[in-house]
Structure 1
Amino acid sequence: MEKSDLKYINYVKILKEELVPAMGCTEPIAIAYAAAVAREKLGHIPEKVIVEVSGNIIKNVKSVIVPNTDHLKGIEAAVAAGVIAGKSEKKLEVISKVTEEEKQKIKNYIESSTIEVKPSETKFVFYVQVNLFYKGSFVKVRIVNYHTNIVFIEKNGKVIYERKAEESKEEGLSDKKLLNIKDIIDFASTVEIKDIEDIISRQIRYNSKIAEEGLKNNYGANIGSVLLETYGDDIKVRAKAKAAAGSDARMNGCELPVIIISGSGNQGMTASLPVIEYAKELKVSKEKLYRALIISDLVTIHQKTGIGRLSAYCGAISAGAGSGAGIAYLNGGGYKEISHTIVNALSIVSGIVCDGAKASCAAKIAAGVDAGILGYHMYKNGQQFRGGDGIVKKGVEATISNIGKLAKEGMKETDKEIIKIMTEK
């Protein structure tokens, strides 16, 4: 692919937009970000907060620890952290710098202030509105579609910022409909390394660090450690263990940032850490690793374009298929090997549900990575799932399209039932 090609330029932009740092699970961080912006506009610590959120936000915030809060969980903790200690200019690292004094203030604020959470009946799957009140003043800040997409700010009845937002559109971001497997491989194979080096080297550095932290210490269900202790340290096990350990750390209060993909740190780690581990095993060059990671990252993003940021379909499955594609590339695979790896992987584990961010995400990640690895080895051994086998259709793009339909449309009722189960008392 030529550097002057519009696709080349767009693919670089997509990587820059998607591979960004975040501390903590991104849905509570989006709430903290909205709260920080609202507090700055209000100019005071609010006496009362009303948070209006879609069901998928409730699902993804309910059970996860908010970093830098001394292990507090939930929407109240996220909004309090943003109000007390948030620095909006840091976006998804909005609460990455919190003092011990501020941590105590966050706890005190939750105990002494009114924080009301309201489920919002909205067409937006991703919807956060934070309403702050102080004496006679109030501020509203609304985010839709993705984690930092502020579309509305109002203060004391006056709209001070507004932009049009459509359901499932990603205003202000590059068009991802140009993505396809053939062009992804072409781009990854020809991109000038200097154009993506900063992005990919940061991904390797950040995600490797949190994975090591997850293996060294006690977080969540310690899935990475369980895998290694149970099955040994074969490369297939290590690849799963690293991704799972990073997730366990992140879901359970680790205060290290990760590089996300499609708004998700779990997907960012699942797409990168298995590929990094295989690159070490195969002793490939740094350049080869970078190109393999580009394939994994963009394959993951390509799948998520049809699914959406939030869904009842577990995003780790998309990223597991992406990592399988990257591993196939590291082993010398081209379009045929990578395409069949993706189709095989998606055939194995599509249907695993997302029931929110929590410790079990690490185990689902292990399953997604395992399917990616198995998908590659199936094709290597002359085996494959074919068009007409269940949701598989002839051709990798047709199968990815089917997965998008399954996840976005077919699992809507599943999503509602999951949210209902999770919020029942």
Structure 2
Amino acid sequence: MEESKQQTQWQALIQLIKHEVLPALGCTEPISLAFASAVACQYLDKNNIKKIEAYVSPNLMKNGMGVTVPGTGMVGLPIAAAIGAIGGDADAGLEVLKNITSAQIIQAKEMLTNGKVRVQIADNHKAIYAESNVYTETDHVKVCIENTHTHLILIEKNGELLYQTDSVNQALSHDDLIIKQMSVRLIYEFASYANFDDIKFILEAAKLNDALSEEGLKQAYGLSIATTLREHTKNGLMADDLLSKVIIRTTAASDARMGGATLPAMSNSGSGNQGITATMPVVVVAEHLNVTQEQLARALILSHTIAIYIHSKYPPLSALCAASTAAMGAAAGMAWLLGKGEYEPVDMAICSMIGDLSGIICDGASNSCAMKVSTSVSSAYKAVLMALSRIRVTGKEGIVCDSVETSINNLGAIVSNSMKATDTQIIHIMSHKA
């Protein structure tokens, strides 16, 4: 590729990564609704809220029903809508709840107790949609979010339109264009040879997600999966080896995030768990190898970009657990480190993971997400070890083909088409449970 064209493409890719890899406090589905409520309260007196009526897409409902909202100790979308309205910072995006106070949390819980918050499924087929209607005695503000977790498409006060835009704006269309030009090989070349100064921002992902991991090992969060596994390395039921470290330290961050820790995760493609999964296995292997900060940055940028690339092949919310595809990014990053920068192990590890993990369902964001994270990173490490020995799931087996690109596209086709029925069934089961 001509050098100037390559540099232009790499710069566009860097902008895409900066758009998709962002700090997020709490699970991004309830946070999206909290953000909508916070924006609405910029246009009215938040001290006199009488009621909140919210509507969310089926997938956002699925992912918001069972997850703890940071700082509140409560699960679900109603508390997210209420605390977002009362204490949310509309300028903070996915960190909208970073400054909430105990007094505001009490006030939000009182709103729920008094039946002043209602969240229903919206009558649309959008993957991501959140609408918050906040009422005082004199005013009603409606805010709508669509397509990504903080993409405002409408603000309306007392029937007067204050802001409106298309559901897909120019920036998003530009992001779609650059990712469609990519391939695993081109992403590998970008990660391996881009100017270090241009990509070292990704080291912030290691800093944030490692802090979340440490928090998850300090106290009980969620299902305490990581602390449980760590105890079993001490009593001999698990080996205290690199695989165990990868699983435990990655899962600890997911435990903390899903259990309501008030620390941000560095997200990927709108998900903290995806960001954790794309980050922590690479960090653990990098520490094991004692690599330089530049090598860590290159492995992380490879992991996160591969995760974004594969996720672009299917809807932003679907029946597939996206931690599994983020772990394909982690496999690429680990393979790059352990394989001394060679391309072939990266390619082979991704193909083996598609042959192994395809079809892990997403049954909503909850504490059990950390189980799926641990399964996904375990598969990633296994695929990397196979790739280092030049062994992979072959093109003669299942949906995997000789080409890594065709294999990824096959997975995307299954998620985008046949797994829609699976998603409908999952939401039906969960809504009837509720």
- TM-score, structure 1 as length reference: 0.95
CA contact (8 A) 2:222 2:367 kept: yes
Residue identity opposite 2:218 in structure 1: K
Residue identity (%): 36
Shift, 1:179, TM fit: 2.4
CA contact (8 A) 2:251 2:370 kept: yes
Residue identity opposite 1:59 in structure 2: K
- TM-score, structure 2 as length reference: 0.94
Number of the residue aligned with 1:57: 60
Number of the residue aligned with 1:194: 197
CA contact (8 A) 2:24 2:272 kept: yes
Q: Distance in 2 between matches of 1:27 and 1:268?
A: 15
Q: Distance in 1 between matches of 2:373 and 2:405?
A: 23
Q: Distance in 2 between matches of 1:157 and 1:107?
A: 29
Alignment match of 2:272 (pick from 261, 265, 282)? 265
Q: Distance in 2 between matches of 1:162 and 1:173?
A: 21
CA contact (8 A) 1:317 1:346 kept: no
Number of the residue aligned with 2:320: 313
Number of the residue aligned with 1:154: 156
Alignment match of 1:299 (pick from 306, 314, 319)? 306
Q: Distance in 2 between matches of 1:25 and 1:170?
A: 22
Q: Distance in 2 between matches of 1:8 and 1:41?
A: 40
Number of the residue aligned with 2:421: 413
1:10/1:234 CA distance change after superposition, 3 Å: same
Cα deviations across residues 148-180 of structure 1 (Å, max 9, x unaligned)? 11111111111111111259x945756322221
- Other structure's SS at 1:139 match: strand
Cα deviations across residues 178-226 of structure 1 (Å, max 9, x unaligned)? 22111111111111111122x2221111100010111121111122123
Q: Distance in 1 between matches of 2:265 and 2:168?
A: 29
Q: Distance in 2 between matches of 1:208 and 1:115?
A: 36
- What does residue range 293-372 of structure 1 map to in structure 2 within 5 Å? 293-331=300-338, 332-372=340-380
Number of the residue aligned with 1:76: 78
Residue identity opposite 2:429 in structure 1: I
Matching of residue 38 in structure 1 with residue 40 in structure 2: yes
Segment drifting more, 25-34 vs 373-382: 373-382
Shift, 1:46, TM fit: 2.5
Cα RMSD of the aligned pairs, angstroms, is: 1.7
Shift, 1:406, TM fit: 1.0
- Other structure's SS at 1:424 match: helix
Residue identity opposite 1:413 in structure 2: A
Q: Distance in 2 between matches of 1:227 and 1:400?
A: 32
Cα deviations across residues 217-252 of structure 1 (Å, max 9, x unaligned)? 111112212333241320111111111110010001
Cα deviations across residues 229-284 of structure 1 (Å, max 9, x unaligned)? 24132011111111111001000110011100000000101011010000111111
- Other structure's SS at 1:306 match: coil
Number of the residue aligned with 1:387: 395
- Other structure's SS at 1:116 match: strand
CA contact (8 A) 2:345 2:390 kept: no
Residue identity opposite 2:61 in structure 1: I
User: What count of residue pairs does the alignment treat as equivalent?
Assistant: 422
Q: Distance in 1 between matches of 2:260 and 2:111?
A: 20
Q: Distance in 2 between matches of 1:274 and 1:383?
A: 21
CA contact (8 A) 2:45 2:136 kept: no
Q: Distance in 2 between matches of 1:100 and 1:123?
A: 36
Shift, 1:114, TM fit: 1.8
